[in-house]
Amino acid sequence: MKGPSMPQLRLTQKRFSLQPHSCEYQVLVLGLDGAGKSSIIHYVCSTEAQKHIEPTQGFNSVQLQANGLQLDFLEVGGSQNLRFYWNYYLSKAHVLVFVVDSADGSRLHTARQELHDLLSEDPLLPLIVLANKQEELDLHTLNNQREFFLLPTSATYAGLDTANSVLQLKSLLIKLLAQI
């Protein structure tokens, strides 16, 4: 069955290539609609505060120069009708950033399934998963006198050898306990 034709991209920068040229890399940013992809891209590329960032209606492209690298962020919208195109852009990416709305428990299973489908398409592509909107877990209601740290982690037997957040926890514990 043939899928829908490719929509016209609203990109103002040059097209992306499969191979990096002089330190140019494509960062593909995916996740379900409403996960916060546009906001994350905005704050990675700009320190300017925005009260409201418009959700992406199709595609979004931003270029960032940092430490001698050119990072071309490409966000493809996460609505059901745009997910069909994810695999097309996956093949051109150097890294995948997958954004999950961690406060939307009703859609965590869908996000997980979409991520696993992507990973099966390219099992070697580097992956960063961002658990976004953790402030919506209502943790701000904690006592203001309490020091509070939220570290996303996966402390399982299979993940312990690569879970940097577990090492961050150890470092944080040592720093906190040294202050007592």
At 73 the three-state DSSP class reads strand
Does residue 49 carry a pLDDT above 70? no
Q: What is the mean pLDDT of residues 148-171?
A: 55
Q: What is the mean pLDDT of residues 172-177?
A: 66
Please list, in sequence order, all residues whose beta carbon lies within 8 angstroms of the beta carbon of residue 36, skipping any fewer than 6 positions away.
Answer: 99, 101, 132, 133
What is the DSSP annotation of 18-39?
A: SS-SSSEEEEEEE-STTSSHHH
Q: What is the mean pLDDT of residues 42-48?
A: 80
Cα(57)–Cα(77) distance, rounded to whole angstroms? 6
H/E segment holding residue 131: strand 127-132
Q: Give the residue extent of every domain in the chain.
A: 24-138, 149-180
Provide the CATH number for the domain formed by 24-138 in this structure: 3.40.50.300
Its pTM stands at 0.69
Q: What is the mean pLDDT of residues 103-128?
A: 90
